[in-house]
Structure 1
Amino acid sequence: MALSFSDIQAAKNRITPFINRTPVMSSTLLNSWLGHEIYFKCENFQKVGAFKARGALNTLAWLKEQGIHPKRIIANSSGNHAQAVAYAGQQFKIPVTIYMPEYSSAVKIQATKNYGATVVLSKDRNVTDALVKEAAKEEGVYWVPPFNHEQVICGQGTAVLEALEEVQGINAVFTPCGGGGLTSGNFIATKGFNNTIKSMGVEPLNANDAAESLRKNSIQKLPNIPNTLADGAMTMAVGDLTFEYLKQLDAFFEVEEEIIVYWTQWLTHLLKIRLEPTCAMTMGGVVQWLQTQEKPQKVLVVITGGNMDQNTSSKIWAKDCLSEVPKL
C-alpha cells in the first residue's frame, strides 16, 4: 500500500522530541540575480549534520511503537546514514553496527564511531551491501536501509513538510537524489500538503542511475563506483520502493560536476554555511527548471547536510568560481 501524507505527519510527531527544527534561509542577492525566490531548508544544522537523522530516528521510534525491540541495529552507508543510525541507536540505547566502503568520507567514518557504533569497512559498496544482507539474517538483528524502507522515507519527508508549513506559496520543491529516500519523502509530503506544488529530483550526471531508470522504466544499476563529488548521491541503484515514487515526480534533472563545484562555492558564499556538494548540486536542477518558466517562482531546496572532509573541500576550492555571478 502506498505511503500517504498522514504517514509523514505521524513521522513528524514521532521524531520531534529528538531532532532540531532547522532554519529556512534565503539570499536576497541570489534572488535578485535569478529573478525568483529560492528558500533553503538547512538540514546541515540537523542532528549529525544531515537530514538522515530524521529517517533513522523515525524508524527506531516506529519499531518501539510497534513493540519490536531489536538486540542490534545494522545499516549500510557511505556516510550520513551511517552517522544517523549510530545516533538513533544511541538515543534508543540499542547497539549498532555499520557497514561502510573504505572510500567513505574519513570525517563520516570517525563521526559514526564517535556515536558509539561498530564500523566494518570493506573495499567497495557491493561488498558492503553483501555483508549487511548476511548480517540481517541473524536473530534479533534489524536492518535500517539508507533509503528503501517505508519509515526511512517518511522520516526524510518531514524536512519538506516543516519547510512548507513555514514558507507560504512555494511552487516547487527540489531535493538531491541518491537512493531516492528523501526524494520519495519529498513527493509524498509535497503532494499531500498541496497537490499543485511541483516535486523534483536532481542527481549527478556521473551517477545518473535514477535518470537512466526513469528513461528505461526499470531499475538500472551503475556498472562501476561513480566518479562524483556528490558523495551522498553515489548509490549504485535506487530501491524498488523509492522507484515507484520517483516515477511520479514532475521532473528529474542531471547535473555536471563543474556545476556541482560552482554551486557549492556560491551557496557557501551567499548563505555563509558549510554544506555538502550533494545538496549544492540541486541548484543545477533548479536553474534548468527556472530557465523554462515565464513567471517568477518560489522554490524550496533541501540543504541535506554539511559533513564534508578536507579531501573533498580541496577539490571544491581548487578553482575559483566566484568571479562568475549566478544567472539564468
Structure 2
Amino acid sequence: MPNIQEIENASQRIKNHINDTPIVSSHLLNDWLGHEIHFKLECFQKVGAFKARGACNSISWLIEKGEKPDHIVANSSGNHAQSVAWAASRFGIPTTIFMPRYSSPIKIQATQSYGAKVVLSDTRDESDELVKAAATEKGTYWLPPFNHEQVIAGQGTVAFDIFQSMKGINAIFAPCGGGGLMSGTYIATKALSPETLVFGAEPLNANDAAESLRKNSIQRLKAIPDTLADGAMTMAVGDITFEYLKQLDGLFEVEESDLIYWTQWLNHLLKVQVEPTSAMSMGAVIQWLKSQQQKQKVMVILTGGNVDPSMMNKIWEKSQLDQIPGIE
C-alpha cells in the first residue's frame, strides 16, 4: 500500500515536470465566514489539473524500474485522460485513451492535442471494458485513473507540497471521485500533520463513495450521474482507495446548487477559473464550519480549471453573486 515514503519519492520524480502551484486566500471571504480559508490552485497545474501529478509519477516510476512500455492505455472521463496523454508524450510513449462520449469536449480535444488516440464510447462502462481488452496486448501498460499505488502517491504530492509551506492547518478538503486524491491526501496529511482533519466532498447526485461508506462495501452507481461535477462522475471507488476513504474524518455530500454557487463565487473572489468539481469542496467546508465554535484554518485543494463553454453557460445561467457567502 502507498505510504509517505512513496509520496516523497514521487515528489522527487515529478518536481522537474510539474508546476509549483500557488496557495492563495481571499480576505473578503475570510471576513464573511469568520475563518481562515486557503486554496491550493491545482487549476494552474500542467494540463490544468492535479491529475498530471499521478500520471507523471506512474510513468516515471515505470521507466525508473526499467519497464518503459511500448504503449500506454487509460480510461477516463476527463482530466486523467489529458494527464496520461501529456505525461506519456514527455517520455515519447504512444497512448490510446478510452473516454465516454459525455466527457467534456474541451477535455477530449486537449487529450488529442497532447498526441493521444481517443476512442469514444457511449458509456463509462464500455470505456472500461475496451481498455481492459487493449491492456492485454503485448508491451501495453494500463494506467488507471485512481486505483493504482503510484497514481495515489503522485496525487499525494499535492498535500505533501502544502505541508512543506504551511503549518497549523486544522482541516484539509478535497473532492472525491474515485478516491485517488483523497487517498494520497490522507496519507500525506496524517504523516506530516497528524492533527489535521481530512475531509472529502462528493456530489449528492453521484454519491457512490458515501453510499459505500454507509454500507461498508463498494457500491456502484446504477446510471450515469446527473451532476456538473464531471471530475467526480466515477461509477465506483477502487478497492485500494476505499480502504483510505474509510479512514477519513468525514465525507460530505454536496447539492448541485452549491456546486454552482461556489463555482461562481470562487471565480469571482480568487480571479481564477475553477471546475465545479473543485468548487464543490467549499460546500463541504461550509457544512463542517457550521459545527465549529472556534476559528479554523482550512485548506481547500482546487483540483482543476478545465471548463468548456457549454458548462460555463450552465454555471452562469443565473448569477448567485447577490447572495453573500456565510456560515448560516
Query: Structure 1 length normalisation: TM-score?
Result: 0.99
Alignment match, 1:167: 166
Distance 1:66 1:173 in 2: 33
Distance 2:296 2:276 in 1: 24
Distance 1:102 1:239 in 2: 22
Alignment match, 2:95: 96
Displacement after TM superposition at 1:133 (Å)? 0.7
SS in 1 for 2:183: helix
Aligned counterparts, 1:53-92, within 5 A? 53-92=52-91
Distance 1:162 1:196 in 2: 17
Alignment match, 1:238: 237
SS in 2 for 1:218: coil
Residues 203, 253 of structure 2: 8 Å contact kept: yes
Aligned counterparts, 1:44-193, within 5 A? 44-193=43-192
Indicate whether 1:201 and 2:200 are aligned: yes
SS in 2 for 1:214: helix
Displacement after TM superposition at 1:163 (Å)? 1.3
Regions of 4+ moved over 4 Å = none
CA offsets, 1:219-266, max 9 Å, x none? 000000000000000000000000000000011100000000000000
Query: Structure 2 length normalisation: TM-score?
Result: 0.99
SS in 2 for 1:287: helix
Distance 2:35 2:7 in 1: 28
Q: Which amino acid aligns with 1:228?
A: T
Distance 2:247 2:67 in 1: 32
Displacement after TM superposition at 1:4 (Å)? 1.3
CA offsets, 1:56-101, max 9 Å, x none? 0000000011110211001000100000000001111100100000
Displacement after TM superposition at 1:148 (Å)? 0.4
Alignment match, 2:39: 40
Displacement after TM superposition at 1:285 (Å)? 0.4
Alignment match, 2:7: 8
Distance 2:182 2:205 in 1: 18
Q: Which amino acid aligns with 1:207?
A: A
Q: Which amino acid aligns with 2:132?
A: K
Displacement after TM superposition at 1:119 (Å)? 0.4
Residues 96, 117 of structure 2: 8 Å contact kept: yes
Residues matched between the structures, number: 327
Distance 2:32 2:165 in 1: 24
Alignment match, 1:22: 21
Displacement after TM superposition at 1:167 (Å)? 1.7
Alignment match, 1:273: 272
Distance 2:61 2:314 in 1: 40
Alignment match, 1:324: 323
Q: Which amino acid aligns with 1:30?
A: L
CA offsets, 1:84-121, max 9 Å, x none? 00000111110010000011111000000000000000
